Structure 1
Amino acid sequence: MTPVTAPWVRTRLRAAPGAAVALAVLVAVTACLAAAFPRTLDRYTDAGLRRAVERAPADVTGVQVSAAPDPGADAEAAEDSLRPRHLTAAYRSVLGIVERPLVVDEEQSSYGVRVTDGLPSPEKWLPRPDGLPAQMVLAAPQGLDGHARLRSGRLPKVPGGRADASTTRVEAAVTEGTARTLHIKVGSVLHVLGDRELTVRVTGILTPERPDGAYWSVDPVLGTPSLRRMPGPAGAPSPTYWVGGLLLAPEAGPALLGAAPVVRYWHLAPDPDALHSRDLDPLAAAVASVESGPALQRLHTTIGPLTDATTGLDDVLTTYGQLDDDIGPLIAVAASGSGTVAAVVLLMAGGLAAGRRRAELALLRARGASAAGLAGRLLAETAVVAVPAGALGLGTALLALPGARLLPALWAAAAVTAVACLALPLRATAAHRRVRVHDGRRDAASPRASRRRTVAELTVVVLALGAVEMLRRRGATEGAGDLVAMAPVLVGVIAALVLVRLYPLPLRGLARPARRLRGAVGPLALARAGRTSASTVLPLLALLTAFTVAAFGGSVLSGVADARDRAALLSVGADARVEAAEPLPSGLPGRLGQVPGVREVTEAGVDWLAKTPDGRQSLPLAGVDPGAYAALAGRTGLGAFPEGRLTRPDDAAGGSGEAVLPALASPAVAERFGSRAFRLRLADGNTATLRIVLVRDRTPAVYGDDFLVVDRAGLPAGSVPPNVLLLTGDDLDAGALHRAADDVGTVHLRSEQRDTYVDSPLQSGAERIYTAAVAAGAGYAALALLLSLASAAPERAALLARLRTMGLTRAQGRRLLVLESLPQALPAALGGILTGWAAVRLLSPGIDLTTIAMSTTASPVGRAELRADPWWLAVPAVTVLVLAVGVATLQAWWSGRRGAVTELRAGDAR
């Protein structure tokens, strides 16, 4: 056979331009989705890591390097080590020692000299809340002029131009917050008492440029004064005192040497833009090296033996790594399932093209074309279309999702392009490896599969069953590795191969008794549907895998939503909550009840300071109307109870007498007091006698593990007035509720509380990826079904044409195609439900949705487990049935319009 030439390729593309365009669109879309997945994942994980670092305090995420003067150095060497030239040189050395990928943000980093503790100032004009003198922290930071604006006065200087340990007079600046709180003005003079007295004259007041940045946040007392308490015995009142910061000139560092113990510091702020989730392990290694590894040893050599480095960045990285590890398997399941369905569709597209050109390829083989040469021509023909389409899809993903790694996206797009290029040549080579003069009828089927196919299928099923059993035994978090991601594919492979072998058997059994029925449509449909065909494995695998991904993804999404809804309900107690420390106005429930969407308003009075008679323990006590509160507890599912059990006795009206009130309690309180009566001292000094008659884990009015609920009518009059209103309704308007509350109480909405549980882009990104994966899998599954039906369309059209020549009506033809498609679509739908349920059951013991739902392993609702969602199991199955019947009906209608002569042309090999 001659080498591949352009005329052949050009001729074949011109002969079927529609097929070439369809292949290009399929490859471009698939390559774009494949390349977009790793880039989207990179963007979400990087954003999650940066958010975790940015939300943590600057003194936690920064690397704080500090060093005291060398104990063996003379006075002159100690003074020189505190001068700007030496500090800057040491700062450059520290930057060089920090290992990548930990990158330092030099703009927000700081270094300088400061005293180790605050020094008291005897000035009487400084505020003294409890009579204690204010303390001042003296620091000589570098780069002060670049991080603050001068509001009044001037920046401090060193009197005489040079400071040393004997200097007693220095100048300083303060921030406007320090000046306002401590009553400091330009020209104020403070005396600071240390080892010797320092006289500090304030020359300027500054406004920090970025008060929330790391430069000011690492040592916040330099920018904002702090009111602190003196240490004392537990429970005893401790006096307070103010601590403020005085910012000296950078050259004034040696003046602090003789006044108090000093330390050189270098606060290194990490650069958030340089943080990438893929570098999490190297980042942790770099941080550990600075804290206690080789980098710290180099700091000892460069700066001094007393150099120390501390940071909380490693804890932040560990917490984020746990979140990433918990969410990673979930994303991998979605990616593997959707990727498998897309790959199956590409293979089916190649198979459809090979089937469409079967006669042409058989003729070429009969005329002497070699299998290798034929495969080469087909590869070149396909590559001319697929490679530019794959490049277009890759380019679209790169432009739409900037700022992520190129290589994973490139590999993903290349894999899609390779599958698209090889599908047609390999399928054609397999079908035409032998030269055939006559290809036979396309509607003929072998009564049984070949031994080779049987052995191959058994091997695949055994391997898949072994992998599933290994995954079931190890779980999703115990080293099962990539098996977790392949769970939908493994279950789909097993179900597809089993269903292909089993579903024809009952149909063949029904075919014989169906012959006794009147008419030929039913028996003919059963006979045709009962044939075994290897071509049904791929579309069935695509459908079952898509079902599994949809069921698993839907269960994940619904489980996450349920966990957040439940946690928000536990926190708020209803759909909305209005509470205040003081009694709420009597007209407020009526105003809130008129807000659109509000159905019920339930009052409750909560005494948060109720104590046992010995005063050692506080127990929140809720006084409620038993009828309304029981209805609320039943609606919300938070500790429902019969209202009659909580109603006060007749002799307990208004708290009169020594009547014992029935109470509902939490398990912890019930275990403490049992069934005996006990007294409770209320916040206003009155007492109530209670006996626990009901025990519930939760209750709407009080959130926590300790609570008591009683009939408010049985309490002393005015003891527990209503201060909590619990609202139920749909689509509550936060603005309207706030206006109705009129600032007399704090409004909490369940919807707002639910939104607070999503505080990481990794959480929201994982949900979006899952939604996109389920949608993509469903789209490709539908396309697989359409390709499967399209491959059988010519043969079905010819069958209808032949039957119409024998008297079959158009209505009978539609019924025939519908009945023929149902025995295949129905097992696929039922198998999809089974595989989806099996995958969820398989992975649920090892997958915890708490992290993705609540962004933490601590959840008010406990462990959020993965459960099969009936809605996500049923909808895809029904969709497949509707789609299969719809396509069969449409094909029958279209074939009826064309006529039998068009289908049964002379020389037609069908």
Structure 2
Amino acid sequence: MGGLVPWVGVRLRTAPGAAVALLLLTLLTSFPAAALPRAMDAYAAEGLRHALETAPADRGAVELTDTPWQDGTGPITPAALAERYRRITAALPEPLRADHAESAYGVRTGSPLAASDPWVPQLDGGQTVFTLSTHHGIDRHAVLRSGRWPRSAGGSVAPDTRAVEAAVTTATARTLAILPGATLHLPLPGGGGPLAVRVTGVVEPKRPEGGYWSFEPVLRTPARLFTSGPVPEPYWHGALLLPPGAAPVLLPAGPGSEAYWRIAADPAGLGPDDAKALRKAVASIEDGPARAKLGEAFSPDLFVESDLDHVLLGADRALAALDPVVAVAAFGVACAAGVVLLMAGGLVAARRHDELALLRARGGSAAGIAGRLLGETAVPVLPAAAAGCAAAFAAVPEGRALPSLLAAGAVALVACGALPARAAFAHRRVRSHGERADAAPARPSRRRTVAELTVLVLAVAAVAALRRRGGAAPEGGADLLASAAPALVALIAALLFVRLHPVPLRLAARSVARRRGPVAFLALARAGRAGGAATLPLLALLVALSTAAFGGSVLTGISDARDRASLIAVGADARVEGDPLPAGAADAVRKAVGVTDVAAVHRSYDLNLRERDTGGIGSVTLLAVDPESYARLAARTGLGSFRAGVLRAPSGAPGDSAVLPALASPGVAALLGGDAVRIGPAAGPFTVRVGAVLEVTPGAASGGEFLVVDAAGVPVEGGRTPTTLLVSGSSVSGAALGAAVRSAGAAGAAVTLRAEVRAGFTDSPAQRGAERIYTWAVTAGAGYAVLALLLALLQAAPERTALLARLRTMGLTRRQGRRLLVLESLPQALLAAGGGVLTGWVAIGLLAPGIDLAAPALAGRGGFAATGPVPPAADPWSLLLPAVAVVVLAVGVAAAQAWPATRRTTTELRAGDAR
């Protein structure tokens, strides 16, 4: 130890450039290494919070219901409801916390009551019904638009009260024609006279999309429901908002009346470690210790219901689909960074070979030299690794600390140990003279052969096991073997290429030996004698190229999936919908700027197949189209192309005896078979026969069942009127389409652009975070590949310079010297480029069966079954462009290195000469 500190001080003073370079390399490596785990934790936490924030109100909350007045204590008061609300929220297990701004409680009727007043609007289904609710806190969640707030004098409302006050929302007042001062009479199930509800005010919800109003949407907006029976008929269902003190009047309103507490989950403050604990908390409040404790405190009949567990499960599945994709990039960049750190240590060991050999010859032990070198490298490496880790913590505040600390520690360990390990191995024995550095042994040592064969067998076995199980992890999520597949393939390729590449180079050297000029022969001969030192840079390049190729395939697959999903969702480049559209709407849209074609479609849902039971396939969408324009659209979009003649109705249609040819989805085709089947409404049935089966067609819902017929053959006039226009045009704009349909008299038509739908697939924070991490990782891997190439060329620079100096004395011109250096580097660059293309293609083939990009592509959205699995697909640009860049960079660096080297002659004659 006494001699270590002076040694380190002398070395740092005499060679500060090497220490600074190692410090910068360690800093630039430890920062992404420490930031990557925290970034993954950050997007996982953002995904969890986003899942809770965007979940429907009835799925992102916990609802507790009870009938506390049945315990003999009498009607429950507002104060008792509030006290139970406070105790329920206090009893929620961590990290499940209540969002008080969107939570609500009160008393409601179990079954809606029908209004007997003749002035209340009615649909064909009969009387309009109302749900009565004492939704607590309406004055804080709504603004009074007209009238006054409803009141209930303290203690004046009893179960036998038959007149109360209420408020309605603006949507309810507008739809059901209710004005302040109006009175609704609601007959009670038990008799005794109707309940008179006087509406005193109309209120406007402040946040109608929030959980307070959306858990039970009818409180905000009337619902259009349908009666049960052979012919369902519509009727209105609205809500009357009573003051909290009016709760006793709801007791005789039916046996289903209940008190409720709807606790919205607060996503604020949730971290990546809270997902598992949150699932346990939800299970505890649903049917666990927390539920049992509340039952003992309140009532054994307390009922708890929540779909939060399904929301959390969906978030877990989305993250599990993203993790394998990110892990491949992370593993690839980690391998490339490790190789570069080893190469940096090897470069320093090669430059200091004579110095270390002299120390060894003077009696220094290999362990003693390694210890001195370890102390020398630890001085710049350890502070740099600590600074990189601190910078990662500052750049990514959210995330676990331990994985980042371990990653930064691994970088420091490799950076500190590369030079001592390489030097100790190279000088383990004292040699009288050094071996040639520019020639590989004719027969590699047995140890090297055994080591390479061992690594090769392990890598082949791992890849074979991965291929046999299809690339998927046994229990989902990231899999180490799948993540390492590109690196394993690159390792196999590097070992094979280093072993095999001298053979074609030496054969090529023999073929040019008889040609005039020494440059080509010397370049091929020197490239063919390159030894095992080329393995590390080749491995770094192959890992980076294969990771970049796989990354390109992932990004291309995601982009293609989004394109197809948006096309299926819209049906064309744009869609105009109305119910129905005016007769001139299609012609007006055709004249809009950017429109190239329009297909007019009459689209109706719940097609009546009459004698055929559709219970097994659900609802069927009928598309009545113009065969020519619709066939052009299908061919242009690739969504089930067909010939227009297959769909064209027979001459003379429509008519009772005409049989219309139809295009059907697989489910409908199996249901109808090949027979002529009578379908359609009772007022205008028609007969169809399935002529072709399509998996998907423009204008039909993704994964839904459909039937396409010629609109000219539909007997009902309403079935021929277009309700949808599928618009083609790459530059079509929503403003132009909106103006066109308004000019045709369709002011209420809805315009949907495919570009807007596609943009909506990128709204998930977890999805954006995973894509961002993958892009950064691929970029960092490319940077490490470039650095590996530069280090390889830099390590050979002194020997090349000395060689050129000797050859110059023998008559080699400067121009020939420059050509020699460029041609010598070209075979290695071509080897790395070709190997990168091959390993990238193989890695994609290995991983593609086990990776489904549907989750990262579609942001976890449902309703896109027609897209099917989305595996990575080989992208030619991602395979070829990085490979070409490697060749260009290698040639450019060699040319830049050759220019100053060929201008020096006598000053370099002894450089690198070890004899």
If the TM-score is normalised by the length of the shorter chain, which range does it land in? 0.7 to 0.9
| Structure 1 partner of 2:892 | 886
AA aligned opposite 2:533? S
CA contact (8 A) 2:440 2:530 kept: yes
Shift of 1:305: 0.8
Given the alignment of the two structures, is residue 56 of structure 1 paired with residue 55 of structure 2, yes or no? yes
Aligned equivalents of 2:712 and 2:150: distance in 1? Answer: 65
What CA deviation, in whole Å up to 9, does each residue of 1:189-209 have, x standing for no partner?
666654567676666665544
Q: Is the 8 A contact 1:682 1:719 kept in 2?
A: no
**Letter of the structure 2 residue corresponding to residue 431 of structure 1:** A
Check conservation: 2:649, 2:660, Cα contact below 8 A: yes
Q: Which residue of 2 aligns with 1:333?
A: 328
CA drift at 1:253? 4.6
* 1:866 counterpart (868, 872, 883): 872
Partner AA of 1:394 in structure 2: C
Q: Distance in 2 between matches of 1:268 and 1:900?
A: 84
Aligned partner of 2:23 in structure 1 is: 24
C-alpha distance in 2 between matches for 1:890 and 1:369: 39
Tell me if the contact between 1:166 and 1:255 (Cα under 8 Å) persists in the aligned partners: yes
Is 2:575–2:724's contact at 8 Å kept on the other side of the alignment?
Answer: yes
Q: Hey, what does 1:557 align to over in structure 2?
A: 555
Change in CA separation of 1:177 and 1:906 when aligned onto 2, cut-off 3 Å: closer
**Are 1:214 and 2:211 counterparts?**
yes
Q: 1:243 maps to which residue?
A: 238
Among candidates 562, 567, 570, match of residue 569 of structure 1: 567
Q: Structure 1 CA distance, aligned partners of 2:638 and 2:171?
A: 49
| Equivalent position of 1:487 in the other structure | 485
Q: Indicate the percent of aligned positions where both proteins have the same amino acid.
A: 50
**2:105 aligned residue:** 111
CA offsets 1:267-309 (integer angstroms, 9 cap, x no match): 2111111334543333222212221222222222121111111
Q: Is contact 1:174-1:204 (8 Å) kept? A: yes
1:586-606 Cα distance to aligned partner (Å, 9 max, x none): 59657645624x5x3244454
1:822 to 2:826 alignment: yes
Q: Compute the displacement of 1:111 (Å).
A: 3.1
Distance 1:223 1:681 in 2: 36
Amino acid at match of 1:215: Y
Partners in 1 of 2:133 and 2:588 — Cα distance? 59
Please tell me the residue identity of whatever aligns with 2:554. V
> What are the superposed Cα offsets for residues 348-384 of structure 1, whole Å, 9 maximum, x if unpaired?
1222222223333333444454444443443343333
**Counterpart code for 2:391:** T
Change (3 A) 1:633 1:470: same
- Does the alignment pair 1:298 with 2:302? no
State yes or no: 1:310 paired with 2:305.
yes
Q: Residues of 2 paired with 1:59 and 1:771: CA distance? A: 37
TM-score (norm 2): 0.86
| Residue 875 of structure 1, CA deviation | 1.9
For residues 674-717 of structure 1, give each alpha carbon's deviation from its aligned partner in whole angstroms, at most 9, with x where no partner exists: 77778888999697x88776655455466665344559699999
String of CA shifts for 1:170-204, please: whole Å, max 9, x gaps: 66555555566666666776666545676766666
Which range moves more in the overlay, 820-829 or 203-212? 203-212
Report the 3-state secondary structure (helix = DSSP H, G, I; strand = E; otherwise coil) of the residue aligned with 2:597.
strand
* Whole-angstrom CA distance in 2 between matches of 1:602 and 1:153: 50
- From 754, 772, 793, the equivalent of 1:789 is 793
- From 892, 895, 898, the equivalent of 2:901 is 895
In structure 2, the residue matched to 1:288 is 283
Per the TM alignment, residue 883 of structure 1 is displaced from its structure 2 partner at its CA by 1.8
Residue-by-residue CA offset, 1:386-420 (whole Å, 9 max, x unaligned): 33333333333333333333333333333323322
How many Å apart are 1:735 and its aligned residue? 3.2
Aligned to 1:526: 524
Q: Distance in 1 between matches of 2:893 and 2:909?
A: 22
Tell me, yes or no, if the aligned pair for 1:622 and 1:702 is still in contact at 8 Å: no
- For this pair of structures, how many residues does the alignment match? 894
Are the counterparts in 1 of residues 509 and 521 from structure 2 also a CA contact under 8 Å?
A: yes
User: Would the aligned equivalents of 2:224 and 2:236 in 1 still touch at CA under 8 Å?
Assistant: yes
**Greater Cα shift, 444-453 or 374-383:** 374-383
Aligned to 1:738: 738
1:393 to 2:388 alignment: yes
Render the CA deviation track for 1:250-278: whole Å, top value 9, x for unaligned: x5555655665543322211111133454
Select which of 64, 84, 97 maps to 2:91.
97
Contact 1:137–1:245 under 8 Å retained in 2:
yes
Aligned CA distance change for structure 1 residues 677 and 165 (closer, same or farther; 3 Å): closer
CA shift digits 1:584-636 (9 cap, x unpaired): 6659657645624x5x324445475998997979874555464x665554443
Task: Give per-residue Cα distances to partners, 1:58-89, cap 9 Å, x unaligned.
Answer: 12211111222275x43xx344xx23554444
SS in 1 for 2:239: strand
For residues 578 and 384 of structure 2, the distance between their equivalents in structure 1, rounded to whole angstroms, comes to: 63
> In 1, Cα distance between the equivalents of 2:554 and 2:913?
52
Match of 2:813 in 1: 809
Decide which moves more: 873-882 or 388-397.
388-397
8 Å Cα contact 1:655/1:714 also seen in 2: yes
- Structure 1 match to 2:263: 268
Instruction: Please give the alpha-carbon distance, in whole angstroms, between the structure 1 residues aligned to 2:681 and 2:117.
Output: 46
Q: Report the Cα offset of residue 324 of structure 1.
A: 1.8
| Equivalent position of 2:420 in the other structure | 425
Distance 1:609 1:814, change over 3 A: same
| Separation in structure 1 between the aligned mates of residue 793 and residue 332 of structure 2, nearest angstrom | 22
Match of 2:617 in 1: none
Matched, 1:472 2:470: no
Among 227, 234, 241, the alignment partner of 2:230 is 234
Q: Identify the residue that residue 437 of structure 2 maps to in structure 1.
A: 442
In structure 2, what residue type is equivalent to 1:884? A
Cα separation, 2, equivalents of 1:208 and 1:647: 52
More divergent stretch after superposition (492-501 vs 383-392):
383-392
**Is the deviation greater in 55-64 or in 664-673?**
664-673
Cα distance in 1, alignment partners of residues 606 and 873 from structure 2: 41
Structure 2 CA distance for aligned equivalents of residues 318 and 583 of structure 1 = 42
Give the SS at the match of 1:484: helix
Distance 2:578 2:89 in 1: 52
Q: Identify which range, 275-284 or 696-705, moves more after superposition.
A: 696-705
Residue equivalent to 1:2: 2
Q: SS of 2:483's equivalent?
A: coil
Q: Distance in 2 between matches of 1:455 and 1:128?
A: 88
CA gap 1:148/1:874 in 2 versus in 1, 3 angstroms: same
What code does the residue aligned with 2:393 have?
L
> Cα gap change, 1:156/1:443 in structure 2, threshold over 3 Å: closer, same or farther?
same
Q: Give the C-alpha shift of residue 326 in structure 1.
A: 1.9
Q: Is the 1:42–1:405 Cα contact (8 Å) retained in structure 2? A: yes
Structure 1 distance, partners of 2:112, 2:656, is 60
Does the aligned pair in 2 maintain the 1:601–1:725 contact within 8 Å?
no
Which 5+ residue runs of structure 1 have no aligned equivalent? none
Structure 1 CA distance, aligned partners of 2:607 and 2:210? 44
Is the 8 Å Cα contact of residues 655 and 713 (structure 2) preserved in structure 1?
A: no
Segment of structure 1 superposing worse, 673-682 or 264-273:
673-682
Q: SS of 1:234's equivalent?
A: coil
Q: Given that residues 362 and 437 in structure 1 are in contact (C-alpha distance below 8 angstroms), is that contact kept between their aligned partners in structure 2?
A: no
Partners of 2:134 and 2:711 lie apart in 1 by 64
CA distance in 2: counterparts of 1:770 and 1:467, whole angstroms: 24
Give the gaps of 5 or more residues in structure 2. 615-619
* Cα deviation 1:208-237 (Å, max 9, x = unaligned): 4433322333334444454555x4313143
Check conservation: 2:660, 2:709, Cα contact below 8 A: no
The CA distance in 2 between the partners of 1:496 and 1:371, in whole Å, is 30
Q: Judging changes above 3 Å, is the alpha-carbon distance between structure 1 residues 369 and 893 closer, same or farther for their aligned structure 2 residues? A: same
Which amino acid is the alignment partner of residue 837 of structure 1? W
1:765 aligns with 2:769: yes
Match of residue 321 from structure 1 = 316
Which one is further off, 276-285 or 808-817? 276-285
Which amino acid in structure 2 is aligned with residue 48 of structure 1?
Answer: G
Output the amino acid matched with 1:494: I
TM-score by length of 1: 0.86
Question: Deviation of residue 26 (structure 1)?
Answer: 2.5
Residue 68 in structure 1 maps to residue 76 in structure 2: no
Q: Which amino acid aligns with 2:229?
A: P
Q: Work out the CA distance in 1 between the residues paired with 2:649 and 2:354.
A: 90
Inter-CA distance 388–302: structure 2 relative to 1 (3 Å threshold): same
